């Protein structure tokens, strides 16, 4: 009680000044002594993350119940369509199987067989998203205990979703491709031109991402695939980012800029896959 | 003491709701800013000091879990709580218009500062696009939620006051 009384005696103006100084001190400390600040983050996260997971479970449960009711009709229709597609796909598969046999034979002849290693993945739940509309970061419930590491690639469905930026024992933070601070080196297929995929919240609201720095001589066409490139230092090569929707020549007459439709739907992310293999790099890790 | 615990709980609950229920299942990527409503409500109902402290701790949680550095959101929420405290003398229990107007002003201020400091300085100058796609929808969404949430906070505040009176009378 005594403490409370004393507090009331401080005029708000001075308290404001004091708290402002605290803010600035925190800001400076997190620049110059980031490791100590990370500890505060770790412990607060440890307290709060379990609650977030719990609340999210409740949300997911009600959500799934509501969705079930709505989706029965839709599912029936989809089922019909998928059956047709499956038949078509089976037919194609048999064709490809014979073709791949042929390819194998030819590769053996040329001894050209390249290694496309299977990547190890682990699945995780999204349990919390950034608390403002401006950033596209979220938390998943797998952390360093499950083999996730800082810089691990995160997939959703068949498409690349983003990158693990912070990793804690029980959970980790993921930044998605559409966040404004995200930039990826990518490659167009089939023209094989290098380019940069930039996150941009504003264009994503139109359902597209911006790809810049495409060489103007590259033969780009609508519908081309955009994959992560081999030269990227953080992303495994060959992960699907999206498909080209339109492209224009830049005013500098040297490069082109394209808009792509991302392969995964960033709006309803619930379960993601994390690639637990590290990208091979030339620089040795300390 | 009861007041401190209640406020801490409210901050905690608002943060949880904002980052899970409203965050993950949002409307077209727009999240309502529950913690701003909380800061505004207590600034309005209790004056500068309490608004400021509420804002400070709300900002602390946001910075702690979602930002790479400490400080920016702490400062932003704190300043907003402090400024809302100036409207304390116009506060009436039944009034709904004042909090609505104040929260709309707060949202615009809050989002414009985020835009200026982390988007405009990154050479993303398309203010009109950001305004119509993010700032405006978020402001409206938050304003709508304010109508409901503010009533709850007023109720909590009234309850706390009564308890306090009982204590001093006894």
Nearest CA-CA partner of B89 in B139, B148, B45, B27: B45
Per domain, the residue ranges of chain A are: 13-114, 121-279
| Complex prediction ipTM | 0.76
Cα(B103)–Cα(B83) distance, integer angstroms? 12
- pLDDT value at residue A280: 66
Cα(B138)–Cα(A208) distance, integer angstroms? 21
User: Can you give the three-state secondary structure of chain A, one letter per residue?
Assistant: CHHHHHHHHCCHHHHHHHHHHHHHHHHHHHHHCHHHHHHHHHHHHHHHHHHHHHHHHHHHHHHHHHHHHHHHHHHHHHHHHHHHHHHHHHHHHHHHHHHHHHHHHHHHHHCCCCCCCCCCEEEEEEEEECCCCCCCEEEECCCHHHCCCCCCEEEECCEEEEEEEEECCCCEEEEECCCCCCEEEEEEECCCCEEEEECCHHHHCCCCEEEEEEECCCCCCCCCEEEECCCCCCCCCCCEEEEEEEEEECCCCCEEEEEEEECCCCCCCCEEEEECCCCCCCCCCC
Query: Residue B66: its chain A contacts at CB < 8 A?
Result: 130-132, 135, 137
Average pLDDT on B7-32 reads 78
Percentage of chain B exceeding pLDDT 90: 28
Could A202 and B33 be called an inter-chain contact, meaning their C-beta atoms sit closer than 8 Å? no
Q: Are A134 and A149 in contact (CB under 8 A)?
A: no
Look at B130 and A286; give whichever has higher pLDDT: B130
| Domains observed in chain B | 2-169 (1.10.1760)
Query: Residue A163: its chain B contacts at CB < 8 A?
Result: none
State both tokens at A6.
């004393």
Question: Chain B, 32-91: which have a CB under 8 Å from a chain A CB?
Answer: 33, 35, 47-49, 52-53, 56, 61-66, 68-72, 74-75, 78, 82, 85
Could A37 and B70 be called an inter-chain contact, meaning their C-beta atoms sit closer than 8 Å? yes
Could B23 and A200 be called an inter-chain contact, meaning their C-beta atoms sit closer than 8 Å? no
**Residue A218, beta-bridge partner list:** none
- pLDDT value at residue A4: 52
Could A52 and B21 be called an inter-chain contact, meaning their C-beta atoms sit closer than 8 Å? no
Cα(A197)–Cα(A242) distance, integer angstroms? 10
Q: Are B33 and B43 in contact (CB under 8 A)?
A: no
Q: Does A16 touch chain B (CB under 8 A)?
A: yes
Residues of chain A with pLDDT under 50: 1-3, 112-116, 284-286
Between the CA atoms of B154, B158, B160 and B164, what dihedral angle is there, to the nearest 10 degrees?
A: 150
Q: Give how far B110 is from chain A: nearest CA, Å.
A: 11
Average pLDDT on B36-50 reads 90
- pLDDT value at residue A115: 46
Question: Chain A, 187-216: which have a CB under 8 Å from a chain B CB?
Answer: 200-202, 204-205
Write down the CATH number for the domain with range A121-279: 2.40.10.340
Percentage of chain B exceeding pLDDT 70: 94
User: CA B68, A201, B114, B111 torsion: positive or negative?
Assistant: negative
Could A26 and B74 be called an inter-chain contact, meaning their C-beta atoms sit closer than 8 Å? yes
Of A137, A181, A202, the CB nearest to B126: A202
Indicate the pLDDT class of residue B24, thresholds 50, 70 and 90.
low
- pLDDT value at residue A111: 59
User: Can you give the three-state secondary structure of A146-191, one letter per residue?
Assistant: HCCCCCCEEEECCEEEEEEEEECCCCEEEEECCCCCCEEEEEEECC
Of B23, B133, B138, the CB nearest to A128: B23
Could A131 and B19 be called an inter-chain contact, meaning their C-beta atoms sit closer than 8 Å? yes
Q: Does A176 touch chain B (CB under 8 A)?
A: no
- pLDDT value at residue B104: 93
Element holding B139 (H helix, E strand): helix B136-169
Q: Give how far B95 is from chain A: nearest CA, Å.
A: 25
* Lowest-pLDDT range of A125-129, B101-105, B106-110: A125-129
Residues B60-75 have pLDDT tens digits of: 888 888 877 788 888 9
Q: Give how far A131 is from chain B: nearest CA, Å.
A: 5
- pLDDT value at residue B36: 92
Q: Does A99 touch chain B (CB under 8 A)?
A: no
State both tokens at A227.
């994959």
Could B16 and A52 be called an inter-chain contact, meaning their C-beta atoms sit closer than 8 Å? yes
Cα(A61)–Cα(A57) distance, integer angstroms? 6
Indicate the pLDDT class of residue B19, thresholds 50, 70 and 90.
confident
């Amino acid at each position: 009680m005594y403490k409370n009384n004393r507090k009331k005696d401080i005029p708000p103006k001075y308290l404001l000044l004091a708290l402002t100084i605290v803010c600035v001190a925190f800001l400076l400390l997190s620049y110059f002594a980031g490791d100590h600040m990370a500890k505060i983050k770790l412990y607060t996260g440890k307290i709060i993350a379990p609650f977030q997971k719990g609340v999210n479970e409740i949300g997911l449960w009600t959500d799934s119940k509501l969705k079930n009711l709505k989706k029965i009709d839709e599912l029936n229709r989809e089922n019909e369509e998928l059956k047709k597609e499956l038949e078509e796909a089976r037919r194609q598969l048999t064709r490809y199987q014979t073709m791949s046999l042929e390819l194998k034979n030819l590769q053996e002849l040329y001894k050209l067989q390249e290694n496309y290693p299977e990547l190890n993945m682990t699945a995780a739940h999204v349990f919390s998203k950034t608390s403002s509309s401006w950033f596209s970061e979220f938390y998943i419930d797998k952390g360093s205990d499950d083999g996730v590491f800082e810089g691990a690639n995160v997939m959703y469905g068949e498409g690349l979703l983003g990158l693990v930026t912070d990793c804690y024992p029980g959970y980790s933070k993921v930044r998605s491709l559409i966040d404004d601070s995200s930039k990826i080196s990518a490659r167009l297929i089939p023209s094989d031109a290098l380019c940069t995929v930039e996150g941009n919240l504003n264009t994503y609201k139109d359902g597209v991402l911006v790809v810049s720095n495409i060489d103007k001589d590259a033969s780009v066409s609508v519908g081309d695939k955009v994959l992560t490139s081999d030269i990227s230092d953080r992303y495994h090569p060959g992960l699907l980012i999206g498909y080209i929707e339109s492209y224009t020549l830049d005013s500098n007459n040297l490069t082109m800029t394209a808009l792509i439709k991302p392969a995964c739907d960033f709006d309803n992310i619930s379960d993601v896959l994390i690639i637990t293999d590290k990208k091979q790099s030339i620089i040795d890790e300390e | 003491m009861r007041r401190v615990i209640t406020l801490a709980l409210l901050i905690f609950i608002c943060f949880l709701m904002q980052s899970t229920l409203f965050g993950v299942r949002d409307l077209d990527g727009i999240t309502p800013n529950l913690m701003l409503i909380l800061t505004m409500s207590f600034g309005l109902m209790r004056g500068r000091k309490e608004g400021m402290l509420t804002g400070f701790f709300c900002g602390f949680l946001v910075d702690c879990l979602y930002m790479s550095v400490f400080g920016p959101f702490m400062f932003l929420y704190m300043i907003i709580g402090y400024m809302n405290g100036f409207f304390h003398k116009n506060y009436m229990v039944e009034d709904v218009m004042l909090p609505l107007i104040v929260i709309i002003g707060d949202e615009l201020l809050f989002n414009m500062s985020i835009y200026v400091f982390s988007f405009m300085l990154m050479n993303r100058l398309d203010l009109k696009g950001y305004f119509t796609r993010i700032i405006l929808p978020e402001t409206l969404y938050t304003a709508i939620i304010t109508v409901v949430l503010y009533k709850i906070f007023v109720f909590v505040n009234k309850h706390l006051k009564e308890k306090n009176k009982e204590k001093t009378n006894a």
